[in-house]
Amino acid sequence: MHIVRDVDLADEGAVKRFYQALPPLWASIHLAGGFAMSPIGDTSGEDFVAQFRMNALSCFLCSAAAIAAFRARKAPEPSGAEGGRIVNVSARPALEPRLGAGMVAYTASKSAVAALTQALAQETTDEQIWVNAVAPSILDTPANRAAMPDASYSRWVSPADLAEIITFLASPANRVTRGAVIPVYGGS
């Protein structure tokens, strides 16, 4: 596993350079993004574009670069697996847009991630590149606990549980799931 920071994922050139410098790639997990919440009257065009840059554009650019890297790898992985795996991170409001009231820019950008996932999964089927996404509800993180101190944290999704699903989707063990946007809601 390789976790990277300090790459502008909304800069096409930077993303291409980053992926081209990697060793042979078989899976790519795209969890970069951001959240902003404000009613439509308080959301500027600049705010809307910022959400798309952080969520949808970063996902698009990383997916395109990952697919190019999969195609450049000539031999299957040592496990015998061919193709590759991409896992994107969408959000619950992408699957249930009415929950996006008061956060329209975020909801639209995460909906774009879900649609991109499904379209790309169909486009790459013949290459055995499985593209999926997870759509979590509220994650039990320190930042979310600080932002919502009176919430029932036990109903939220633990990052470890989400990571388990992502790990499966990105693994050679995932031989059949593609084009899924999997709800990961916990008890919420």
| Neighbour-count burial of 23, counting CB atoms closer than 10 A to its CB (0-12 exposed, 13-18 middle, 19+ buried) | exposed
153 is catalytic: no
How is the chain split among helix, strand and coil, in percent rounded to 5?
50, 15, 35
| CATH no. of 12-184 | 3.40.50.720
Domain ranges of the chain: 12-184
Output the average pLDDT for the chain: 93
Task: Please write the tens of the pLDDT for every residue from 95-148.
Answer: 999 999 999 999 999 999 999 999 999 999 999 999 999 999 999 999 999 999
Closest-CA residue to 87 (of 110, 109, 115, 59):
59
pTM: 0.93
Task: Please write the tens of the pLDDT for every residue from 123-137.
Answer: 999 999 999 999 999
Which one of the listed residues 19, 106, 153, 185 is annotated catalytic? Answer: 106
Dist. CA 66–CA 25, nearest whole Å? 8
